Homo-oligomer: A and B are copies of this chain.
Amino acid sequence: MARTKGSVGATTQKAILDAAKTLIVKHGFEAMTLRQLAAEVGVQPASVYRYIDSKDALLAALMSTHMDALICAWEALEDKGETPDEQLEAFVAFHIRYHVERREDVFIANMELRSLGEAARADVVAKRRAYELNLWRILEEGVKTGDFPETDLEVATYAILAMLTGVCFWYRPDGRLSIEQIIAVHQGLVMRGVVSGALQTA
């Protein structure tokens, strides 16, 4: 056999990327085999090489594409708010909404930095840093204007991001709360804090 009836390159390409994400989440990148991937797509192992240069390049493409899309999605967001308060609320909503719909990409981006080559890793790390800066700058401005209390900006940035991204690890589409409700709870936690009245500094 050779070329199959109805085969289309773009379709196979997308099927390969989708199957790869699922297999990487389930087994880890190193443990995923191209034979599994080919079987999932319904194709012979050799055929996968029409669409990827190597297993390593596949991972690099997946992660880099994810980071690019994330950064672009934030830039494309229309209402990013005016005041620091509004901006922070907008960021919380955007981050949860975007990540919860792409849990496979988020899982891979968080787990498989270890499997990237040096150049690809540097690329992804730089893009992650660029995205983090969006939140960092919001906090910085809020502290500057006095809207937010003094705190360590780096730690606060990481802490808020970890909290928001964490939703991906327990969210289920058929769960008790809708995404909008989950966003509201997190906005409350970030904006008011868990203990709004306790231990005021000023």
A28 proximity list for chain B (CB < 8 A): 27-31, 111
The distance in angstroms between the C-alpha atoms of A81 and B110, with both chains bound, is 35
If A27-B30, A185-B156 touch, whether A190 touches B192 (CB-CB below 8 Å) is no
Kindly list chain B residues whose C-beta atoms are within 8 Å of the C-beta of A192.
149, 193, 195-196, 198-201
State in angstroms the CA–CA spacing of A27 and B154 once bound together: 29
Copies of this chain per assembly: 2
Docked pose: A25 CA to B26 CA in angstroms: 16
Q: Is the CB of A177 within 8 A of B152?
A: yes
Q: Once the chains are docked, how many angstroms separate the CA of A109 from the CA of B25?
A: 15
Question: Beyond A31-B31, A142-B195, is A159–B85 a contact (Cβ under 8 Å)?
Answer: no
Contacts A29-B28, A163-B160, A165-B162 given; does A195 touch B155 at CB 8 Å: no
Q: Which of B27, B159, B167, B194 contacts A191 (CB 8 A)?
A: B194
Contact A162 B166 (CB under 8 A): yes
Q: A residues within 8 Å of B by Cβ?
A: 25-31, 85, 88, 110-111, 114-115, 139, 142, 147-149, 151-152, 154-156, 158-163, 165-167, 169-170, 176-177, 181-182, 185-186, 188-201
